[in-house]
Structure 1
Amino acid sequence: MRGWVSALNKNTTPMKTPVALRKETLSFGPFRVVASERRLTKDGVPAELGARAFDILIALLSRPGEVIGKRELIAQVWPGITVEEVSLRFHVANLRRALGDGRDGVRYIATSPGQGYSFIAPVLRSIAQEPPPEIPASAFQHGNLPGRLTRMIDREDDLQRLGVLMERERFVTVVGSGGVGKTTVAIVVGHQLTDRFAGAVLFVDLSMLSDSDLVATVIASLLGLSVQSHDATSSLIAYLRDKQILLILDTCEHLIETVAVLASMILVAAPRTHILATSRETLQAEGEHVYRLEPLECPPDGELLTAEVAKTFPAMQLFLDRALASGAQLDFTDAEAAIVAAMCRKLDGVALAIELAARRIETYGVHQTAALLEQRLTLSWRGARGAPARQKTLQATIDWSYRLLSEVERVVLRRLAVFVGIFTIDAALAVATTASVDRSLVLGAIDGLVAKSMIAVRPAGTLMRYQLLDTTRAYARENIVDDSDFAELATRHAVYYRQWLETRGLEWSILATAAERAPHFIALNNVRSALEWCFGSGGDIDLGVKLAAAAAPVFWAMSLLPECHRWSLRAIQALDETSKGGREEMHLQAGLATSFMNIDGKTDDAKAAFHRSLTIAEELGESLVQMGLLGILHVLHVRAGDFKAAFQYARRASAVATRTDDATAKAFAHSMMGRAFLFEGDVANARLELEAALKHQPNPAQVSTVYLAADRHYRPGIQLARTLWLQGYPSQAVERVHHTLKEVIDHPVALTGALTFAIGVFFWTGDLVNAETHIDWFLSHAEAHSLGPNAAAGWGLKAQLAIYQGNAKSGVEALRGYMERIHAARHGLIVTEFNISLARGLMAIGQLTEAMSLIEQTIDRVDSAGDTFPKPELLRLKGQVHLAKPEPDAAAAESCFLQSLELSRRQATLSWELRTTIDLAELFVGRGQPERGRRLLEPVFLRFTEGFETADLRAAERLLATLR
């Protein structure tokens, strides 16, 4: 399995017979791990897990129940590489997420603060032995296997699988695109199997042979046979009949029919002869088993990449190895790692292409080489002097394949060059079908191009996707596609993807898993390409405006906010007077506004764009669009700390909802009203509205009818969790948090928004382990998806955690540093909670005057802004500051506690009431009035029916035990 989620088989030694194959299975919960195969399954289904995360899992499973230090883990997982602890935390967070660690009470990995990690679940081990096959010996005097490479980059997985396949089957063809490394792999497999065949391994290079009638003659002559006729087939088969030999037939694609017939005849007549062939096309011969060799794995686009992490990807390893071997001087910083990764992706992980580019580093350097590739994928760069002619340049490699195509296949290939990356068969038919090349001819040509490895096949669920490698696409664009023809193709391409966005756009918000979203993310590459063409020189700007308007809601739904901003702004600037005020501008202004809001927190610009979009929606009578825009304006004002204005937008949305029969709109209005009630401290009405929202909203699998409401499910859920905690139901609150996070796990904007408030519930309950796990998760998503304002909140939560963990000094310094960014990002609601934590930290380090000033400022702020629900906690902290003074002011403290108690009772926030009651009871104990403290605390404690494992209830129980 390739990609970021693949398990790189770094520690697997190529199989050598006759050593027995030993397989150990490790089991825990629903998971099974076969370490030797680097395979993880859950309930029998393969589970996706990154390479480093898999290595960490194996290390932890090797010593269950034992704390393994961070340095030791890094040394095991990144041997010989200097890696920062942040890389370890990142991959541990990915591992926890893949295992569902911390959800529904399931725990696998525990963190020992400052030390390391341990695997805490029971682990079962089982070992199975497989006897090796018997190896007969025979003499062979004609071995000609080329020398084995001293170093081969990450083909251990392929080599092991091919070795196993060759033991089981007699005829295997390694198929792949030109330059992917088929010959190299075949030679290494031959060396691995030399003992198995007692040295009887014959390598036959067919690339220099143009006459198919000579195939048998060449093989026979390499075996030392005296050929006395034009057809050496009968002599060759007679010789092989009782021989145990491995024939490696390299580069068969141009002689495919002859090789296929000959191979089938050998299989029948010579039962001890094995054949390993390489070809860009399957031979389709009797008894053939195909092994498709994929390109080398590249770092994924959009991921934060350090130099250390980059070196774990085989395409990067090959690039560095070949660059250094050619004499290049490389510092390979994080910045260079990102550039090299982009080059490897552009070269599709094709080994030959990577080697050719790497050889240019000594001459041009990293940046200039990358620039040359961006300007024009250089097909003429020359490789090693000893390489076969067909592999001297990329041009020669593709020329070799192009000459083997039929005329119709060439025409279709030229037309498919308009696609970027992966495309569907529907897209191919829409673009490539014309009057001269009808649908049936296009389908037949695609079949042929796939068979000849000119088009790569990418399964996606039950559907199949197709892709031209960038090298093939560049060849077609630069050598065989006319500019005038390309304009027509580009127009059909842009029209198809505009229609695709308009047709499928509503579905994007219900794609629940990464697997479901992946094909849509990939298809957006073609939308991007179409937009670039439309707004470029010679493009169609009117078509571009329509395409950008169709793309804006989808970019938003898929959290692609920088692109949403770029294309919405570009299209708005291109609007003429006749198109202003229409649906296109409505979508574009909304797209611009959402990107302003989430990327850099430009609230005023966002408000202006939202109001423009809302005005158009009202003029057009688009009620459901109005609902979505009012919902976002509500959130925008909450983030700005203007809760009174947010309440008014909630009321406007509620009024619009009453004028429609749409169930989703009504649920959406309940959600906004519930949040508005919560902010002002009316938790009873908040709970009623939020539960109504969850009860009446459609199933997440149903398409949302409310505009831009892709994340509609997390807001009522996460705020209901906070409401439940405030009302005194901490267990239900935590359960609701986990349930809500599951619903938005694959929507980065919604996920980080939910985590912003979910983590607060973990702080309230005192579950710092879950808080830390979810903060790491939060940051990895926010930074990976350029969610600047959300990332600022994540780092604030990290500092908040330090204060809760007792590292008050460092936590206060960090939180102070982040507060400017948090204010700039307009996180109005969470600012209050950060101020509360900051005040706690200031108290802990003895800065009482500053703590008191901050608390009083925050009280004034919530009174004016309207988010009064945390005020009882602020008053309680104010009382604690009075008690912490060098000369404690017990009277002032009691006054603050009593105010807090009165307000918490008026709000019906039982959890705030419990905290304040604990403080008051302790104050009474200090005065020698323990019975008064007991009478105050006990009835409050007895009103709780759950959550007795949480920090506040444990503290209350301990105090009551003392008082009794």
Structure 2
Amino acid sequence: MKNADVRFGPFTLATSERLLLRDGEPVRIGSRALDILIALVSRAGEVVTKEELISTVWPRTFVEETNLRVNVAALRKVLGDLQEPHRIISNVTGRGYCFVASVSAAEEPVQQTQADISKPRQMPPATGFLPRQGGRVIGRDGELDLLDGQLRDVQILTIVGSGGIGKTTVAVCLAQRNFTRFPDGVAFVDLGPLADPALLPTAVAKGAGCILGTADQLTELAKQLSERSMLLVLDCCEHLVDDIARLVETLAVRAPAVRFLVTSREPLRVQGERVHRLAPLTFPSEGEAEGAASALKFAAVQLFVERVADSIGGYDLSDAEAPLVGEICRRLDGIGLAIELAAAQVDSLGIQGLAVSLRNSFDGLTRGRRTALPRHQTLHAALDWSYSLLNEAQRSVLGHLSLFNKEFTMEAARAVASDGGTIDVAACLGDLVAKSLVVADRSIHPARYRLLDMTRAYAADRLSASGRSGEASRRHATHYLALFEQAAEQWQASHDNEWLALHNRDMGNLRAALDWAFSSEGDPVIGVGLTVAAIPLWYQLSLVDECLMRVRQALEWLERQDEPDDRSLMQLNAALGFPHMRAISGCPSGAKAWERSLGIARRIDDVDFQLRALWALWVDRTNSGNSRAALEMAEEFHRMAVRSRDPADRLIGERMRARSLHFLGDQPRAEAHVRRMLDEYRAPANGTHLARFQYEQRLTARITLARVLWLRGHEQEALGEVEDMIATALQVDHNLTTCHVLSDAVCPIYLMAGDLNRAQHYTGMLLERTKAHALDVWHAYAECFQGDILIRRGNAAAGVPLVRDAQHRLEKAGFHLYRTVFRAVLASGLQALGRIDEAMSLLDEALALTRQTGEAWYVPELLHQHARLLMTQADAQEDARRLIQQSLTLATEQGAVAWASRISSWHPAEAR
């Protein structure tokens, strides 16, 4: 029946006319679907294989089998053959399709009549086949659903994004989804290779199956497309964006049934255009990919794992490698092309090797699919393509922007990239955002911008090659020096959460500026100034290790100079000297740095820094367990506070006195001083005390109050103070203060009160927080508390070594505060293990230490514990009774009702 007019059901197929009629009326049908129908009808009753149909309908063209299935579905819809089993076209599983309806010759040939003029003129089929996808589309379902809806509502839909982000992949997938919607099919036109804008109409016509013959090709193309209902996919338009915009705008007006799906690195900016900026694939932030299950929730990780599996013949993500894969995807900013290129390197580098390689550079991402478009075969090629489309001013600005680490503002961009005022930085930045080379976040004020890491590395290479990176780096560092000096002044006047959030966003640029300043090409004077200016921010963010490292770096340079600046030396030594910054790993005592800072402050008569240094040295003496020396420092601080411009400094002196008196065993006077402080103290609105004296002062004073209240027998009041204190500390959200509250009040008071459940809960909190922030001293305290809990719960075998090891680390570092308590804990564990002599020896040593330092607050309990050990020995009963009496007498003298009650309840006869 080849080339004959045939009938089946209500349909007549005129093969020569390429016309399908239903009850004599023309039927609109896509050209591909019509070709399939003709091929099947010509071999009615036979199985026509999928391969035969594809070669017939798409000659000399590679298409996926999906295209065939989509067009068969469209044909069945036209024929009303939707119910299974199909009565017109049957699919033969694994082979192809068969036309099963009854076919007969038409009684009369179909003639073209006047009545037929209204039917659409059949045109040659579109030849712009859809490119083959490299694998399944991952992480785009939500966006595809959104775009699907938009494609129904608008005539021009432009997908915009940076190179390699997946614009073509999404466009092709969207086109496949919409094959059946357009009677004249879908045409895909890759405009990337086109260099001459004059050839645009020809390229589009070829993809759409149009034949142009007139001189005015655009007019002729518009005329032919005006008779079409089709989807026209125009891929890679950024290099000819102005010319393509004019073409699309013209065709959209004259061919209203044609939909345009455009991919570009910047919008066309034509009337009626809907722009969708494609986001990167989701990727885990630091700490969000601890295991395979959590990592695989992110689309970027899914893509990486699937492409690695394709590359090496199978791969399952393990929990051990999940953090590394998360890091890889994070460094690649969720850019699909970069992830695919990285996955191709796993065969030679392995996961760990790839992660290490990407920490150094992105140069290894150079091996892509051979079948990919040239501009997508390597990361460098994709960036080269974008860079080639920039003018000189835009290239210069992009290179300078590579100096910013993460975010920057328009003000910062102008300061660094203006190149002497010859470039309109704002205009260039706007163009770079439009071209998807810079990401803008306008949800905050002022707006923030950033370069993706790969773009930044590429632009940095370009800046370096230009020979202008040195001067640009100086401008960058100078700008941030001025910014952080201003921030330090603002902090002194009015510190709040807004200030912290704003300047926290510039931490990356602070680091970059300091790295340059202390490099061989940098300027250490700028580096010293930056370090001093940034100290308040480091304190507020609890970035202890980073602050120490940068301060030492500045001091090492400054101390080598012939005439170092005294004020900078004083400030840097003060920062270096904070006792809480001293790690157990063997760093020298902070006291020496504070003594140097105090000496300079006295020489230049700086009252503020004299107070800071005296406070820090008081902390050092307290932590060293030397309570008498600590009280002397507190008294000197109180005298110096009279000269301070801040009247609250005198009250901080009261708090210091109270804590020293508490450890010396004078609980009534300690309570009087701390209550005076709490009654009168008002924290400055600008939060300066937090940085000057390390902690939130009211909470720190309440630590002493809670301890004194418990010792004085007001247990419920003390426990209420503890609960309110920890709730307030967590609300303040300053980690150092929270850890101080936990280690000095919450955990020890619950242990003294015997509430092991709450002690366990808060010890766990302390362990977690101190580990996360590398606060080694307080972490060792937490281990001692944990060991105490284990011993009390009958597991001395586990508790004793835990306490012994933690105490050894504390003593090695010179932290002797609470050593009497921890030795008593260790003694109780040894007693439980039957090692009585060792326990006795530890208690004797602890008592001897208290006589040297004056730390008397725990002596009643040491004497009590010693007496209980003696009671186990028949020949030591008299000594035990003597120690019990001494313990009770001392507890009474100190006002320590809690100790006295405990002694009396244990051995009331001996306590009389």
TM beyond 0.5? yes
- Tell which deviates more after alignment, 887-896 or 389-398: 887-896
1:722 correspondence with 2:710 = no
- Tell which deviates more after alignment, 377-386 or 187-196: 187-196
- Is the Cα–Cα contact under 8 Å of residues 561 and 599 in structure 1 kept in the other structure? no
Cα–Cα, structure 1 residues 187 and 755, in superposed 2: closer, same or farther, change >3 Å? farther
- Is the Cα–Cα contact under 8 Å of residues 601 and 826 in structure 1 kept in the other structure? no
- Give the drift of 1:795: 3.4
- Is the Cα–Cα contact under 8 Å of residues 500 and 540 in structure 2 kept in the other structure? no
User: 2:576 is matched with which residue?
Assistant: 592
Structure number with greater CO (CA < 8 Å, separation at least 6) is: 1
- Give the drift of 1:910: 4.2
CA distance in 2, matches of 1:457, 1:768: 52
Q: 1:818 aligns with which of 786, 799, 806?
A: 806
Cα–Cα, structure 1 residues 218 and 704, in superposed 2: closer, same or farther, change >3 Å? same
Q: 1:421 aligns with which of 406, 427, 444?
A: 406
Task: Spell out, residue by residue over 1:485-540, the C-alpha distance to the aligned partner (whole angstroms, 9 max, x if none).
Answer: 21111111111122222221366698776x87455344222222222222222222
Cα–Cα, structure 1 residues 704 and 281, in superposed 2: closer, same or farther, change >3 Å? same
- Tell which deviates more after alignment, 423-432 or 888-897: 888-897
SS at match of 1:599: coil
Q: 1:734 aligns with which of 698, 702, 722?
A: 722
Q: 1:560 aligns with which of 543, 549, 552?
A: 543
Matching residue's letter, 1:675: R
- Is the Cα–Cα contact under 8 Å of residues 726 and 741 in structure 2 kept in the other structure? no
Cα–Cα, structure 1 residues 219 and 585, in superposed 2: closer, same or farther, change >3 Å? same
Matching residue's letter, 2:335: V
- Give the drift of 1:704: 0.6
1:331-370 equivalence runs, <5 A: 343-365=328-350, 369=354
User: 1:919 is matched with which residue?
Assistant: 906
Q: 1:838 aligns with which of 822, 826, 830?
A: 826
- Is the Cα–Cα contact under 8 Å of residues 579 and 591 in structure 2 kept in the other structure? no
SS at match of 1:662: coil
CA distance in 2, matches of 1:583, 1:335: 49
Q: 1:430 aligns with which of 415, 426, 431?
A: 415
1:739-888 equivalence runs, <5 A: 739-745=727-733, 747-757=734-744, 758-765=746-753, 768-882=756-870, 885=872
1:485 correspondence with 2:468 = yes
CA distance in 2, matches of 1:525, 1:279: 31
SS at match of 1:420: coil
Matching residue's letter, 2:163: G
Cα–Cα, structure 1 residues 873 and 605, in superposed 2: closer, same or farther, change >3 Å? closer
Cα–Cα, structure 1 residues 394 and 760, in superposed 2: closer, same or farther, change >3 Å? same
CA distance in 2, matches of 1:900, 1:347: 67
User: 1:126 is matched with which residue?
Assistant: none
CA distance in 1, matches of 2:636, 2:289: 41
- Give the drift of 1:294: 3.8
- Is the Cα–Cα contact under 8 Å of residues 289 and 322 in structure 2 kept in the other structure? no
CA distance in 1, matches of 2:153, 2:879: 84
Q: 2:895 aligns with which of 905, 908, 917?
A: 908
CA distance in 2, matches of 1:445, 1:294: 22
Gapped regions of structure 1 (runs ≥ 5)? 1-134, 928-932, 937-964
CA distance in 1, matches of 2:464, 2:412: 19
- Give the drift of 1:396: 1.5
User: 1:405 is matched with which residue?
Assistant: 390
1:274-289 equivalence runs, <5 A: 277-284=262-269
- Give the drift of 1:433: 2.6
1:613 correspondence with 2:597 = yes
- Give the drift of 1:325: 4.2
Task: Spell out, residue by residue over 1:20-55, the C-alpha distance to the aligned partner (whole angstroms, 9 max, x if none).
Answer: xxxxxxxxxxxxxxxxxxxxxxxxxxxxxxxxxxxx
CA distance in 2, matches of 1:354, 1:329: 17
SS at match of 2:593: helix
Percent identity over the alignment is 33
User: 2:607 is matched with which residue?
Assistant: 623
User: 1:945 is matched with which residue?
Assistant: none
CA distance in 2, matches of 1:918, 1:199: 97
User: 1:656 is matched with which residue?
Assistant: 640
CA distance in 2, matches of 1:167, 1:690: 72
- Is the Cα–Cα contact under 8 Å of residues 624 and 706 in structure 1 kept in the other structure? no
CA distance in 2, matches of 1:462, 1:427: 14
CA distance in 2, matches of 1:293, 1:801: 55
- Is the Cα–Cα contact under 8 Å of residues 863 and 887 in structure 2 kept in the other structure? yes
User: 2:112 is matched with which residue?
Assistant: none
- Give the drift of 1:662: 0.7
- Give the drift of 1:585: 1.4
- Tell which deviates more after alignment, 251-260 or 866-875: 251-260
- Is the Cα–Cα contact under 8 Å of residues 711 and 744 in structure 1 kept in the other structure? no
CA distance in 2, matches of 1:162, 1:888: 91
- Tell which deviates more after alignment, 819-828 or 322-331: 322-331
- Is the Cα–Cα contact under 8 Å of residues 379 and 393 in structure 1 kept in the other structure? no
Aligned residues: 783
Q: 1:690 aligns with which of 674, 689, 698?
A: 674
Cα–Cα, structure 1 residues 817 and 668, in superposed 2: closer, same or farther, change >3 Å? same
- Give the drift of 1:397: 1.1
Gapped regions of structure 2 (runs ≥ 5)? 1-73, 80-124
SS at match of 1:457: strand
- Give the drift of 1:638: 2.1
SS at match of 2:506: helix
Matching residue's letter, 1:642: N
- Is the Cα–Cα contact under 8 Å of residues 624 and 665 in structure 1 kept in the other structure? no
1:711 correspondence with 2:695 = yes
Cα–Cα, structure 1 residues 480 and 498, in superposed 2: closer, same or farther, change >3 Å? closer
Task: Spell out, residue by residue over 1:412-471, the C-alpha distance to the aligned partner (whole angstroms, 9 max, x if none).
Answer: 212222222212222222222343425xx2112111212222112246744322112222
User: 2:35 is matched with which residue?
Assistant: none
Task: Spell out, residue by residue over 1:131-168, the C-alpha distance to the aligned partner (whole angstroms, 9 max, x if none).
Answer: xxxx9x96699795555665565556656766787799
- Is the Cα–Cα contact under 8 Å of residues 299 and 341 in structure 1 kept in the other structure? yes
SS at match of 2:842: helix
Matching residue's letter, 1:388: L
- Give the drift of 1:604: 4.6
User: 2:435 is matched with which residue?
Assistant: 452
- Is the Cα–Cα contact under 8 Å of residues 507 and 703 in structure 1 kept in the other structure? no
- Give the drift of 1:722: 3.1
- Give the drift of 1:775: 3.6
Cα–Cα, structure 1 residues 561 and 227, in superposed 2: closer, same or farther, change >3 Å? same
- Give the drift of 1:212: 5.7
- Give the drift of 1:384: 1.8
User: 1:111 is matched with which residue?
Assistant: none
- Is the Cα–Cα contact under 8 Å of residues 281 and 453 in structure 1 kept in the other structure? yes
State the TM-score, normalized to the length of structure 2.
0.74
- Is the Cα–Cα contact under 8 Å of residues 455 and 468 in structure 1 kept in the other structure? yes
State the TM-score, normalized to the length of structure 1.
0.70
Q: 2:456 aligns with which of 447, 468, 473?
A: 473
CA distance in 1, matches of 2:496, 2:237: 44
Task: Spell out, residue by residue over 1:558-611, the C-alpha distance to the aligned partner (whole angstroms, 9 max, x if none).
Answer: 333333333322322322444325112122222333389433465754222221
CA distance in 2, matches of 1:209, 1:629: 71
SS at match of 1:829: coil
Matching residue's letter, 1:624: D
Matching residue's letter, 2:523: D
- Give the drift of 1:845: 4.3
- Is the Cα–Cα contact under 8 Å of residues 460 and 519 in structure 1 kept in the other structure? no
CA distance in 2, matches of 1:589, 1:381: 48
- Give the drift of 1:472: 1.7
Q: 2:507 aligns with which of 517, 520, 524?
A: 524
1:647 correspondence with 2:631 = yes
Cα–Cα, structure 1 residues 338 and 304, in superposed 2: closer, same or farther, change >3 Å? closer
Matching residue's letter, 1:419: F
CA distance in 2, matches of 1:170, 1:867: 83
Cα–Cα, structure 1 residues 622 and 530, in superposed 2: closer, same or farther, change >3 Å? same
- Tell which deviates more after alignment, 221-230 or 819-828: 221-230
SS at match of 2:688: coil
- Give the drift of 1:225: 5.7
SS at match of 1:702: coil
